């Protein structure tokens, strides 16, 4: 028995097992692609995967998570033909989110299948938003354009009736103004989305921003005998774009005036606390229902479409506000109660004292200057209470 076991061990040692190996240079090429990749064997076991594949939730341990991906590897293994598909796959331990990936599945040598994954989630989301935006714009433009065309035909038919011509001309003028306002808001929204405030911004005095926004809204307020009342003052500046901030606060004030009854008041309050500038705009208008508050910042969303047409609203003003404040690292919140009015609250991070005059240095220059100033402050005399609070 002992001799038999020795013989078996010798025979096993002499067997040359030819295990499958990755093609020469494949590892280096995969590492340089910049994509998530998975290499599976003949039974779909993961033999190699980079961190991106795990981050995308495609691989867990040595297992490919999604059956849809395994179906592709099976097809490639059977046909030997490269497959490219875009899939939306659940992501997370419970599939609570999803990821859109462009998958390219191909044979790798004789034993392996390679899966390349490119994350297209943001691209798909952007395309969906763009398509939705184009559809909404087309719909919104049809109404004033159609009205203008119809009114022009009516005026032509009633050329001999002076009263009718005058009445329809006034409506034509109103529709043309509405169309111009809509086009202008679309242009402003596009400009807001295309500018990088972080890199192009400068220190901005919000007191001047609010004053400018109030001046631009004063005429429609006076037409309804609405008082614009300002209270408070902001001690520090913010980093951002003066024109964009003015546009955002003008939209908020215009919105308050538009939906407020005549002979009322719109209050603008300024305050500062813990390095945050806060601006509140309060009206005595019709208020907003809880279900509408959830969607009030969406593009083209209107609480009352008929009332918006009467007041000249385009449905883009609050969407512009949200984009502008978000680009400045701030937030905008809404409190409202039907029949009691609404309050929009904007919070923006303030610049620390001594760091407000770093314009023209560029991003890296500002960071260096800020670091030097902080070192000087820490090495110098103790700051006053006001300086410490800043």
What digits encode the pLDDT tens for the residues 230-286?
Answer: 999 999 999 888 988 998 999 899 989 988 889 999 999 999 998 899 999 999 888
Q: Is 350 exposed, middle or buried (0-12, 13-18, 19+ CB in 10 A)?
A: buried
User: Which residue would you say has higher pLDDT here, 71 or 90?
Assistant: 71
Domains of the chain: residue spans and CATH: 30-119 (3.30.450.20), 132-194 (1.10.287.130), 197-351 (3.30.565.10)
Residue 373 has pLDDT above 60, yes or no: no
Cβ atoms within 10 Å of 55's Cβ, excluding its own:
13
pLDDT band at 86 (very low <50, low <70, confident <90, very high): very high
DSSP letter, residue 352:
P
Residue 380 has pLDDT above 50, yes or no: no
**pTM exceeds 0.75, yes or no:** no
Residue 228 has pLDDT above 80, yes or no: yes
Report CA 241 to chain centroid distance, whole Å: 18
Closest listed residue to residue 270, CA positions, set 236, 246, 227, 241:
236
Asked whether 347 and 276 are in contact (CB, 8 A), the reply is: yes
Asked whether 243 and 259 are in contact (CB, 8 A), the reply is: no
C-alpha distance from residue 252 to each of 206, 208, 241, 308, 343 (Å): 15, 16, 17, 15, 10
Residue 347 has pLDDT above 90, yes or no: yes
Distance in Å from the first CA to the final CA of the chain: 89
Question: How many CA atoms, within 13 angstroms, populate the side-chain half-sphere of residue 322?
Answer: 12
Cβ atoms within 10 Å of 57's Cβ, excluding its own:
19
Alpha carbon distance 246, 240 (integer Å)? 11
Residue 9 has pLDDT above 70, yes or no: no
Percent of the chain with pLDDT over 90: 27
Here the tokens at position 200 are 């192009």
């Amino acid at each position: 028995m002992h001799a038999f076991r020795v013989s078996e061990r010798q025979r096993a040692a002499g067997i040359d097992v030819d295990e499958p190996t990755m093609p020469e240079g494949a590892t280096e090429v995969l590492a340089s692609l910049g994509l998530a990749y998975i290499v599976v064997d003949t039974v779909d076991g993961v033999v190699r995967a980079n961190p991106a594949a795990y981050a995308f939730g495609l691989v867990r341990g040595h297992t490919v998570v999604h059956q849809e991906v395994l179906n592709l590897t099976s097809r490639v293994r059977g046909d030997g033909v490269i497959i490219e598909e875009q899939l939306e796959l659940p992501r997370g331990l419970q599939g609570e989110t999803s990821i859109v990936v462009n998958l390219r599945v191909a044979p790798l040598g004789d034993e392996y299948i390679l899966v390349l994954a490119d994350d297209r989630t943001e691209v798909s989301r952007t395309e969906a938003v763009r398509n939705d935006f184009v559809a909404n714009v087309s719909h919104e433009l049809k109404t004033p354009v159609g009205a203008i065309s119809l009114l022009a035909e009516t005026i032509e038919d009633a050329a001999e009736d002076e009263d009718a011509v005058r009445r329809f001309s006034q409506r034509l003028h109103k529709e043309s103004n509405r169309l111009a306002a809509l086009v202008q808001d679309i242009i402003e929204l596009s400009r807001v989305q295309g500018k990088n405030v972080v890199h192009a911004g400068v220190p901005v005095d919000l007191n001047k921003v609010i004053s400018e926004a109030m001046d631009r809204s004063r005429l429609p307020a006076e037409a309804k005998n609405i008082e614009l009342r300002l209270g408070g003052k902001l001690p520090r500046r913010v980093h951002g774009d003066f024109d964009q901030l003015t546009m955002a606060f003008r939209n908020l004030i215009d919105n308050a005036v538009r939906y407020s009854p005549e002979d009322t008041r719109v209050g603008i309050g300024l305050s500062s606390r813990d390095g945050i500038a806060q601006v509140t705009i309060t009206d005595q208008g019709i208020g907003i229902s809880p279900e509408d508050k959830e969607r009030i910042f969406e593009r083209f969303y209107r609480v009352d479409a008929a009332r918006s047409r009467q007041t000249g609203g385009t449905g883009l003003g609050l969407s512009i506000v949200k984009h502008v404040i978000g680009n400045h690292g701030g937030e905008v919140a809404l409190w409202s109660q039907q029949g009691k009015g609404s309050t929009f609250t904007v919070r923006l991070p303030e610049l620390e004292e001594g760091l407000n005059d770093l314009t023209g240095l560029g991003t890296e220059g500002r960071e260096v200057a800020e670091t030097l100033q902080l070192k000087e402050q820490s090495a110098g005399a103790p700051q006053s209470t006001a300086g410490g609070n800043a």
